[in-house]
């Protein structure tokens, strides 16, 4: 049985004081939430220290939303994997479609970041997903297979077990348009089959694959109830304590 993992991607929202408000509110609800789920929040860089300090005794884990593939040097504006480790961050979202489309991150860059994260034992949440044009053009499987194969180049079996995949159809991110449970399940099954091709079935059965794209409290149960969907990466619905807590409650049946 794979333990579900639900992560909040706050994107460019919540400085340290909003982060503190959210965490205090969320912590007060934590006891009423299902136990058999890993919960992760991903604030912006400037709020990470506040988050890890406030959550040092909590079961809630902290993720960065990005990091550099470089260790140090003349890379203005960048943050390294070592720096994230130093402030007790445990996960890092890599390859989000906004990083790919707005900041031009390629599969090769994302691969370098994934390898760097593993080097310091940060767990990557590796995002993949197709555009609507690619899906409608019959390119879904080709696009995902390339993203997975190139993004995971040289990632060992052991490292793969510490990698979370987030399947996020680009057309469903922040749009309110959600993949149907069947569309999501079919695609997750395909993603798992690619992991089987690369790592064998004993690894692929253990790898957690989150769905992301307009997950809300009222559709979480149906999506997370699918056989190959092991949690969610959540944007909009994770900005408010009540909706993030309800989404976890509805999505995880114990």
Could you tell me the smallest distance in angstroms from the CB atom of residue 133 to ligand PEP? 18
**Closer by beta carbon to ligand PEP, 42 or else 160:** 42
Element (H, E) at 223: helix 220-224
Could you tell me the smallest distance in angstroms from the CB atom of residue 87 to ligand PEP? 22
Could you tell me the smallest distance in angstroms from the CB atom of residue 247 to ligand PEP? 10
Could you tell me the smallest distance in angstroms from the CB atom of residue 49 to ligand PEP? 23
96 counts as catalytic: yes
Residue tagged active-site, from 96, 98, 105, 134: 96
Could you tell me the smallest distance in angstroms from the CB atom of residue 109 to ligand PEP? 18
Whether the CA torsion 148, 74, 77, 71 is positive or negative: it is positive
Q: By C-alpha distance, which of 194, 173, 191, 200 is closest to 230?
A: 191
Could you tell me the smallest distance in angstroms from the CB atom of residue 232 to ligand PEP? 8
Helices (H) and strands (E) in the chain, counts: 12, 8
168 counts as catalytic: yes
**Closer by beta carbon to ligand PEP, 65 or else 199:** 65
Residue tagged active-site, from 105, 130, 168, 188: 168
- The Cα 100–Cα 107 span in angstroms is 9
**Closer by beta carbon to ligand PEP, 40 or else 173:** 173
Contact 161, 207 (CB under 8 A): yes
Identify any residues that bridge with 41 across adjacent strands, giving them in sequence order. Answer: 8, 62
Contact 88, 32 (CB under 8 A): no
CA distances from 115 to 2, 77, 190, 222 (A): 23, 21, 24, 34
Residue 224 corresponds to which tokens in the numbers above?
Answer: 């997370």
Q: What is the dihedral of CA 77, 82, 84, 90, to 10 degrees?
A: 150
- The Cα 77–Cα 38 span in angstroms is 30
**Closer by beta carbon to ligand PEP, 10 or else 199:** 10
Site residues for ligand PEP per CB under 6 A: 9, 168, 173-174, 212-215, 233-237
**Closer by beta carbon to ligand PEP, 66 or else 214:** 214
Contacts of 70 (CB under 8 A, 6+ apart): 78, 80
Within its chain, how far is the Cα of 177 from the centroid? 19
**DSSP conformational letter for 173:** T
**Closer by beta carbon to ligand PEP, 130 or else 168:** 168
Q: Which residues are catalytic?
A: 96, 168
């Amino acid at each position: 049985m794979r333990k579900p993992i639900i992560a909040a991607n706050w994107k460019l929202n919540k400085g340290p004081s909003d982060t503190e408000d959210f965490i205090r509110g969320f912590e007060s609800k934590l006891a009423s939430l299902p136990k058999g789920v890993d919960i992760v929040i991903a604030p912006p860089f400037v709020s990470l220290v506040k988050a890890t300090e406030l959550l040092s005794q909590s079961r809630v884990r902290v993720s960065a939303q990005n990091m550099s593939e470089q260790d140090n040097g003349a890379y203005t504006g960048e943050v390294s994997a070592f720096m994230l480790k130093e402030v007790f961050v445990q996960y890092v979202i890599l390859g989000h479609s906004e990083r790919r489309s707005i900041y031009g991150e390629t599969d090769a860059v994302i691969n370098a970041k994934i390898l760097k994260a593993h080097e310091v034992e940060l767990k990557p949440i590796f995002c993949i997903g197709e555009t609507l044009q690619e899906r409608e053009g019959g390119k879904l499987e080709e696009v995902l297979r390339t993203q997975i194969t190139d993004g995971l180049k040289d990632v060992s079996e052991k490292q793969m077990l510490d990698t979370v995949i987030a399947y996020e159809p680009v057309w469903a991110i922040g749009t309110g348009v959600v993949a149907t449970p069947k569309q999501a399940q079919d695609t997750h099954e395909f993603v798992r089959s690619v992991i089987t091709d690369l790592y064998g079935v004993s690894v692929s059965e253990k790898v957690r694959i989150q769905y992301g794209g307009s997950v809300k409290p009222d559709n979480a149960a149906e999506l997370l109830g699918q056989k190959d969907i092991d949690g969610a990466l959540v944007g909009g619905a994770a900005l408010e304590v009540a909706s993030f807590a309800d989404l976890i409650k509805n999505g995880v049946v114990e």
